[in-house]
Amino acid sequence: MGDHPAKLHIAVFPWLAFGHFSPFFEVSKLIAQKGHKVSFISTPRNIKRLPKVPTDLQHLVELIELPLPHVDKLPENAEATMDIPQHTVPYLKKAFDGLQEPFTKFLETSTPDWVMYDFAHYWLPPICSKLGISTVFFHIFSGCGTCYLTNLLLLKSNEPSFDESPNTIALQPFEANTLSEQGEVPNASGVSDAFRFRETLFGADIFAIRSCREIEGESLKSLENYIKKPVIPVGLLPPSQQFSEDNKDENWRTILNWLDKQEKKSVVYVAFGSETTIRNEDFFEIVMGLELSGIPYFLVLKEQNSSDSVELKDWLENHSNKHGLVWRSWAPQLRILAHKSIGGFLSHSGWSSGIESLLVGCPLIMLPFHNEQGLVATLMENKKVGVRVPRNDHDGKFTRDSVAKAVRSVILDEEGKTYRSQAEEMSMIVGDKELHQKYFDDFLDYLEINRPAIMH
């Protein structure tokens, strides 16, 4: 064995969304734990909103602030997707593209060995190539979703297909139509999301993804075959289940008090993430379906999810809390999912939410709305860890009856035993710390062995 190689300097640069910050920040801490230097790059307001870097890692994690340029139609102080409605996001992308110059100056003075970047950074690979800096496109989405999108957007196939045993992963017709139409259309940023994805993917030296072969082996193999470059799973990055015993937080005390009164595995937890926008009529069908099911529910209602319609406002004002609790601020999702009263999770089928739910063996009730969520739902359905809410194949419409039926099938009906059993079995993979640490260690080994030939 020779000497250990010199420690790396890795710049980490996520897209301006908190669903992206979290996994990129987790990766930064894991890199620093191995003694490597990390420069975590974002805008000033976002840097201030990050969790604190652990004390023992602060000397290795540098937080770099790049001021976001002003763009017309983008509200002042809007620096992340959570700050704005969905239709304004293209203006945020336009402002983000204005970070090219300050980012280039950072690279010229800091000279990292690698840059880990996100889907939006189509202009970044040529800059790094010119400076002799290697690049990692770190994709926080599922392998099945990425494989489908790669086939659809890069290979221009109208019917992408690949096997994730024992079934084929596919979108429902209304999902496929929406994804195909939206992806290729240039938006207010000046380019389409499909263009961003293609350029970031083809420009990267390697492709890293939040996944593991035990769950998505076929997808990862197909993906590497499609893109003809290394595809490296970094593991699922499962969040810690070590919760603070300090129950002084008034919000948590209120939540815990309600959950403790419910029977074991009797409650459905309902949340749709911080960036999923749901039409008012659809959200009203969801809440009516929850009432119709007769199942106790804990519903997290965020401002981004629905712009309260008259019907919804009226329902909320007259809501008697007979069957459930509506929570209108931030909720500690993993802590709630881990509570003994939770028997199912009704969500948008986001990859991160799915990982959290399966980490604690909680079965899924899935109602996907955009991007790769439909593919994740199909994957989870194939793994028998949950069910989709039935919808119209052509327009995606669903009813309160279909919501109620799906909820009851997981929480009450006999078939729910299968979903619970499979979810608990899946938790053995998702919660295997050694497995996911090994994935990440292998990823870091690759970065060390393949560091740029030009030493900075």
Active site members: 20, 118
CB 360 within 8 A of CB 398: no
**Which amino acid makes up residue 147?**
C
Closest to 392 measured CA to CA, from 172, 181, 101: 172
DSSP state of 231: E
CB 345 within 8 A of CB 337: yes
Angle at 37 between CA 33 and CA 41, to 5 degrees: 110
Residue 324 β-bridge partners: 297
**C-alpha gyration radius of the chain:** 22
Unique residue bearing structure tokens 């000046």: 190
Unique residue bearing structure tokens 């690759």: 446
In which order are the strands placed within the sheet that holds 324-327? Answer: 324-327, 297-300, 267-270, 342-347, 364-366, 386-388
Q: What is the H or E stretch that residue 324 is in?
A: strand 324-327
Closest to 342 measured CA to CA, from 251, 256, 252, 272: 256
- Cβ burial of 155 (10 Å; 0-12, 13-18, 19+) is exposed
Quote the CA–CA distance of 278 and 289 in Å, as a whole number: 15
CB atoms within 10 A of CB 266: 15
Q: What is the 3-state secondary structure (H, E, C) of 378-411?
A: HHHHHCCCEEECCCCCCCCCCCHHHHHHHHHHHH
Tokens of 299: 């519903």
Closest to 269 measured CA to CA, from 303, 296, 304, 240: 296
CB atoms within 10 A of CB 329: 9
Tokens of 127: 């800059």
Quote the CA–CA distance of 276 and 286 in Å, as a whole number: 14
Tokens of 11: 């710049």
Quote the CA–CA distance of 205 and 128 in Å, as a whole number: 10
Quote the CA–CA distance of 39 and 128 in Å, as a whole number: 15
